[in-house]
A and B are shown apart, each in its own frame.
Chain A
Amino acid sequence: QKEVEQDPGPLSVPEGAIVSLNCTYSNSAFQYFMWYRQYSRKGPELLMYTYSSGNKEDGRFTAQVDKSSKYISLFIRDSQPSDSATYLCAMILYTGTASKLTFGTGTRLQVTL
């Protein structure tokens, strides 16, 4: 079993729709929970991160973490064509001086006009 599982998609939604992206994880030692956006042939770009259970909002984006269920979500409101990208959930594990990110497989999102 992978430490981080992500709904594979792909997702295709019309402009203005609400998008829900989800990941589950198995390692309770993860300390930060992140969402990255990756455009084709580019490096990942950090969208949001949190370390505690609950919701965190930033503009049209809301990150939700439920540590008891080991479940994280990203909601995108009023989706735009520019949101079309691959979304990666990721989690950080610290061991000694090292910080290791474990990523989900990514969900490809297409927002159509």
Chain B
Amino acid sequence: ETGVTQSPTHLIKTRGQQVTLRCSSQSGHNTVSWYQQALGQGPQFIFQYYREEENGRGNFPPRFSGLQFPNYSSELNVNALELDDSALYLCASSFGRTGPGELFFGEGSRLTVL
């Protein structure tokens, strides 16, 4: 158990809908990153939040947005869902710009878009 919890674990949406995924960081962690893992692929970096501000973003369109709250939990929002958004969405928490030994992943939220 890493202490990083994500919800929901599974959900099904239809094309054009909007979805919100949630991540609760490990205690004491102030940084959350989100990754998208399509079937048979490695995770791809979506963005990172540090102390409630976005401080890094991958090659994802603006319809992927996020929030980090004062308790350092986080949300990933995806608008206008497309079929290709079907994937496992992973969040990872850490304390600042840390090494890999202090970066912990949650179990993911599996999104299916029909």
Q: Which residue of A lies closest to B10 (CB)?
A: A41
Interface-located stretch among B11-19, B63-71, B75-83, B105-113:
B105-113
Kindly list chain A residues whose C-beta atoms are within 8 Å of the C-beta of B48: 98-100
Does the CB pair A98–B90 fall under 8 Å? no
Render A30-55 as a binary contact track against B, CB cut-off 8 A, 1 for contact.
00101000000111111001010000
Are A101 and B40 in contact, CB atoms less than 8 angstroms apart? no
CB distance from B40 to the nearest CB of A (A): 7
Select one of A44, A94, A98 contacting B43, CB under 8 A.
Answer: A44
Q: Which among B44, B105, B108 has the highest number of chain A CB atoms within 10 Å?
A: B105
Chain B interface size range: 20 to 34
Q: Which residues of A contact B107 (CB under 8 A)?
A: 41-43
Cβ contact within 8 Å between B106 and A88: no
Report the nearest A residue to B105, measured CB to CB.
A43
By a CB distance below 8 angstroms, the chain B residues around A94 are 97
Q: Which applies to chain A's interface (DSSP): helix, strand, loop or mixed?
A: strand
| Cβ contacts under 8 Å, A51 to chain B | 99
Judging by beta carbons under 8 Å apart, are B55 and A43 in contact? no
| Contact residues on A (Cβ < 8 Å of other chain), bracket | 20 to 34
Determine if A95 and B56 form an interchain contact, defined as CB atoms under 8 angstroms apart. Answer: yes
B42 interface neighbour in A41, A49, A99, A103, Cβ under 8 Å: A103
* A6 adjacent to chain B (CB < 8 Å): yes
Set of chain A residues within 8 Å of B105, measured between Cβ atoms: 43-45
Please tell me if B24 contacts chain A, counting CB pairs below 8 Å.
no
On chain B, the residues within 8 Å of A62 by CB distance are none
From the candidates A45, A98, A103, name the one contacting B50 in the complex (CB within 8 A): A98
Contact A97 B90 (CB under 8 A): no
Any B CB within 8 A of the CB of A105: yes
B83 to chain A, nearest CB (A): 20
Residues of B that sit less than 8 Å from A by CB: 2, 4, 31, 33, 35, 40-45, 48, 50, 55-56, 58, 88, 90, 92, 94, 96-101, 103, 105-108, 110
